[in-house]
């Protein structure tokens, strides 16, 4: 029975990828992989940064969605900005469909006032899609009495099991010591997607628009002499074709330990998940785990989603504490 469910899941996932507008991978820990969110983040931390991330979506299904990401970005003074590279490997339907994305990003920053810095970024990517036709089961494969048999006639249409294209994104971000917000547009040329030799059967990868906002606010006790903890409200809005997503939540950090809760829903106020986040920061290393508790119609079947990220800086920089999108607890007015 479990094998039959997995086969059906593979068919559904693959048909969705072929016959409908695609939707990008969505990470719950957006700021653990800033280059994926917005190319304007490249080099903003002031030192070389390595970010690694793994997402396992819907535990109740066997390898329904597994996503791996690694990124490196660093400032370059001669370019008056920063550069970065990002590799994302998304494996769907128990390996039936794979999407490998390699991105290179560049951003330039301008100090527009004493408190605010403006960054603009550009990203170019190479995307390769792979379909394992042998893992697919169609209706004409199945026999009422004997199960799977023969070769499906549908495979004659899947003549391009591997295809690739170039992809382009732009973004901008304005930030200060306590606030930051940005905008990004992905898939500017809306590249065509199809596993057949006939492009007429393809569908465009629709543009995705992202807006993000956040703050890091100190909370004091006993006046302005001793800081108790930081709170960080954050908001992410994404729109891609018919898909819309609205994420909002808050983190609280004290002495290197961060706890947070996020909510994910569409624009129609239909909730998809509640996200619980636990993170640790020590010196130049930030380790975070999150769990998505599904509250939509899939709540009883999905099994939830786990995500793990590790971000580490290759050297220290006192400037880091002035960037609110790096979750680092800093004492400003004495010891606790």
pLDDT value at position 12? 46
Structure confidence at residue 1 (pLDDT): 42
**Residue 277 has what pLDDT?**
93
**In the predicted model, what is the mean pLDDT of residues 304-330?**
70
Look up residue 326 and give its DSSP letter: S
Instruction: For residue 144, report the phi and psi dihedrals to the nearest 5 degrees.
Output: -60, -35
Task: In whole angstroms, give the CA distance from residue 82 to residue 73.
Answer: 7
| Unique residue bearing structure tokens 């074709």 | 241
Q: Are 191 and 177 in contact (CB under 8 A)?
A: no
CA distances from 140 to 137, 143, 148, 152, 307 (A): 8, 8, 9, 6, 38
Pick the range with the lowest mean pLDDT from 13-27, 131-145, 217-231, 241-255.
Answer: 13-27
Window from 52-66, 109-123, 149-163 with minimum mean pLDDT = 149-163
Q: Is the pLDDT of residue 330 over 70?
A: no
CA–CA separation, 125 vs 106, rounded Å?
Answer: 12
Closest CA to 312 of 67, 29, 30, 71: 71
pLDDT interval class at 127 (50, 70, 90) = very high
Cβ atoms 120, 172 nearer than 8 A: yes
The full set of domains in the chain, from first to last, is 2-322 (2.40.160.40)
Instruction: Let me know if 104 is exposed, middle or buried by CB neighbors in 10 A (0-12, 13-18, 19+).
Output: middle
- pLDDT confidence of residue 13: 43
- Comparing 10-19, 26-35, 174-183, the range with the smallest average pLDDT is 10-19
Q: Report whether 107 contacts 119 (CB < 8 A).
A: yes
Helix, strand, coil percentages for the chain (3-state, nearest 5): 15, 50, 35
Q: Cα(157)–Cα(201) distance, rounded to whole angstroms? A: 10
Return all residues near 77 (Cβ < 8 A) that are at least 6 apart: none
- Mean pLDDT for 59-77 is 88
Do 6 and 62 form a contact (C-beta atoms < 8 A)? yes
Q: Are 193 and 22 in contact (CB under 8 A)?
A: yes
The span from the CA of 126 to the CA of 102, in Å, is: 5
Neighbours of 136 (CB within 10 A): 20
Nearest to 210 by CA among 186, 191, 187, 233: 186
Residue 153: pLDDT above 60?
A: yes
Which among 86, 87, 111 is positioned nearest to 99, based on CA atoms?
87
Condensed to tens digits (0 to 9), the pLDDT of residues 220-276 reads 776 555 667 788 899 999 999 888 899 999 988 887 888 999 999 987 777 888 999
DSSP H or E segment with residue 249: strand 243-254
Mean pLDDT for the chain overall = 81
A 10 A CB-CB count for 17 gives: 20
Q: In this structure, what are the phi and psi dihedrals at residue 112, rounded to the nearest 5 degrees?
A: -95, -15
Asked if 281 and 255 touch (Cβ cutoff 8 Å), the reply is no
> 330: which residues sit within 8 A by CB, 6+ positions away?
321
* pLDDT of 17: 40
The answer on pLDDT for 218 being more than 70 is yes
Whether the Cβ atoms of residue 108 and residue 116 lie closer than 8 Å to each other: no
């Amino acid at each position: 029975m479990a094998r039959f469910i997995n086969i059906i899941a593979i068919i559904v996932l693959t048909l969705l990828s072929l016959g409908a507008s695609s939707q990008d991978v969505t990470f719950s820990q957006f700021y653990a992989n800033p280059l994926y969110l917005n190319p304007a983040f490249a080099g903003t931390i002031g030192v070389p940064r390595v970010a690694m991330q793994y997402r396992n979506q819907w535990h109740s299904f066997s390898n329904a969605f597994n996503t791996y990401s690694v990124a490196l970005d660093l400032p370059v003074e001669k370019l008056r900005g920063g550069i970065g590279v990002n590799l994302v490997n998304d494996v769907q339907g128990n390996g039936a469909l794979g999407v490998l994305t390699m991105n290179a990003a560049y951003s330039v920053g301008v100090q527009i006032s004493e408190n605010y810095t403006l960054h603009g970024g550009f990203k170019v990517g190479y995307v390769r899609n792979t379909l394992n036709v042998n893992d697919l089961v169609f209706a004409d494969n199945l026999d009422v009495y004997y199960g799977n048999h023969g070769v499906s006639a549908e495979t004659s249409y899947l003549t391009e099991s591997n295809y690739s294209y170039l992809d382009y994104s732009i973004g901008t971000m304005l930030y200060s010591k306590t606030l930051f917000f940005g905008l990004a547009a992905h898939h500017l040329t809306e590249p065509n997607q199809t596993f057949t030799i006939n492009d007429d059967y393809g569908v465009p990868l629709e543009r995705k628009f992202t807006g993000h906002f956040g703050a890091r606010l100190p909370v004091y006790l006993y006046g302005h002499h001793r800081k108790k903890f930081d709170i960080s409200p954050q908001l992410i809005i994404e729109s891609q074709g018919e898909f819309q997503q609205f994420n909002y939540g808050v983190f609280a950090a004290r002495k290197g330990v961060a706890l947070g809760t996020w909510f994910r829903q569409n624009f129609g106020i239909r909730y998809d998940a509640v996200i619980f986040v636990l993170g640790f920061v020590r010196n130049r290393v930030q380790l975070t785990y999150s769990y998505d508790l599904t509250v939509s119609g899939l709540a009883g079947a999905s099994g939830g989603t786990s995500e793990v990220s590790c971000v580490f800086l290759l050297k220290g920089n006192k400037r880091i504490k002035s960037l609110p999108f790096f979750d680092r607890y800093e004492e400003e007015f004495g010891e606790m």
